[in-house]
Structure 1
């Protein structure tokens, strides 16, 4: 399946963002480019299941012949003595067969074109880019913070893989604390019921604890992780010691957290295969919903129906630890805002997660430049980062 890349019509402004201009003959191939993606299809496992939020749970775009083929290909195996037929190429035609080294998670989908590889590399450059605080002599690179957790996407998603929990005084490079509280008023309860919000932030510190800040400002606090060793006996009698973490916050800059605020650690997940997940038809995911384990397989999958931040419509959540985000682009915009403090068209808040109570934060300068538009990361930046995130290849099984 190939679909047009809307952002190519907007790359005329890319040169202003420190990227090659579409008018440059060297990059004339950008015009009319389309994206090759692999669409993984699954069969409806629970025909007749209720349709959450009015979303269909059965496919209407496949012929009976195609549906039968999909069922045959995706039917779970019962023979674990040998690899499944398609197991080595677990990412389909986009699977990367490049060497199993430290860059194994940083390869592009194998089925993109030479021209698309150029776009992928531009997105990679932005993914690795270190943002700086405003004002700055650099063009289109300022706007960091004022409060933030890291300066670049790659600093959290280490080599495009998952993060690691902090050890001792090693810092919290790839983990942060999500701050949230339950609804406390009838108005807030109604907003939750209508799926207008997922939860409510701490009234002072916002939706996540940001331990870093630009010069002239203090970070919100420092995450503390304490481990308690526990002795566990396995079914075969083997005794192992496991560590149970507990989380707290030290050195809070603006007084204590709200007593109803909860702490939830978030470690960065790997980036590979996100584009494949985004292409799965919603009906295929919803058809496998089984929150009450009616088929007695021990799995109680429950889809998360969320409200799309751009259209306002209810849709299927796919990304994030709790599948709270419907698209890769929205996930990237949320990370720009919360983790780095960069505004985007999707989340046009120039001060990131700063709250009304953090007046010093809101008084800091931002990185908006009039010639680039009303946000710090304009559409061409988001287009390239999204393309990069969609096309990080799943490596072949070893």
Structure 2
């Protein structure tokens, strides 16, 4: 395929990075929206994240099997269709007024997202000139950051427009209150219907577009792990899996609970908080560009460790400060989180050789941290009655990431290979 012929496939692939970023960053809008609509506790509200990120753990290996058998194009189309199906499930979920139904819809969406991410990240590196692979990937990832900025603002315009204050709800009769909450919950139908339709249109484009064929069955002449978990004999991969688990968990705590945090700590309304969340997304986007530039002068692991230490200090501010300054502190945390996911990923699979594919799958599976870690944030917040105390959880997450950046990234020869070498000698 010529360079000119690869332009449209690159545009299609880049759109995927924006779309899954957009879907993820609607969750912070959904959490307070559903929390009020169904009168949930913070712990119950974080089931939104549990439903989403549990799918990453369960779908990582099946997604890899789909791609291995049918190729990247089949994987992408499958992911888009599943993603769209989850969006359309929001309509019956809103009609039936069942919180569990919403969680099922989110789980289905996340299954589609897992398949898309598993396929699109490596696929975009092999389209076009090999010399431009890194540039294409970084460019595509920037659209994920753009979605982080836009999704909260757009989501608030569509979803939070029918929100009722606590005082207004208390002044209503029980029947009127039930009707008001039902009307509020139904506001999710139109945005998710539009998103689902856009996804199907893009799936059609992928179906009729000639995409480069990549051989995913290339022979591997080197020794590799007999099963996926044996790849964890690489110590730096084990560290990376742990670091990514806690990074995603910490990121979800910061972003998904942003509105609940900002409205409590800074005493602002949800609409204003959603705009600040958009600012946090923009901070994340700018941080990614600046961090990438800094890596030309600072080793990635050192920059990762430095950023993690800075975030540990900022988390103390998020716990003990009050007022609007806490919102700016969290926006700062987002800036320093920006390089963490790709840097942990790159350091984790470095030097794996024939175990690179297994290592990639394991790091993707570790995204399940987003389903587990925020629960601890919620338990602490509910137990103490102060959502700011929950920031002890992301603080601990950043400590683990700092340790990975300072020492855990080092490549050590697996014991099994050391033993084999001693027998040869």
Look at both structures and tell me which one has the larger radius of gyration over its CA atoms: 1
Larger proportion of helix: 2
Same fold (TM > 0.5): no
Q: What is the TM-score when the length of structure 1 is the normalising length?
A: 0.25
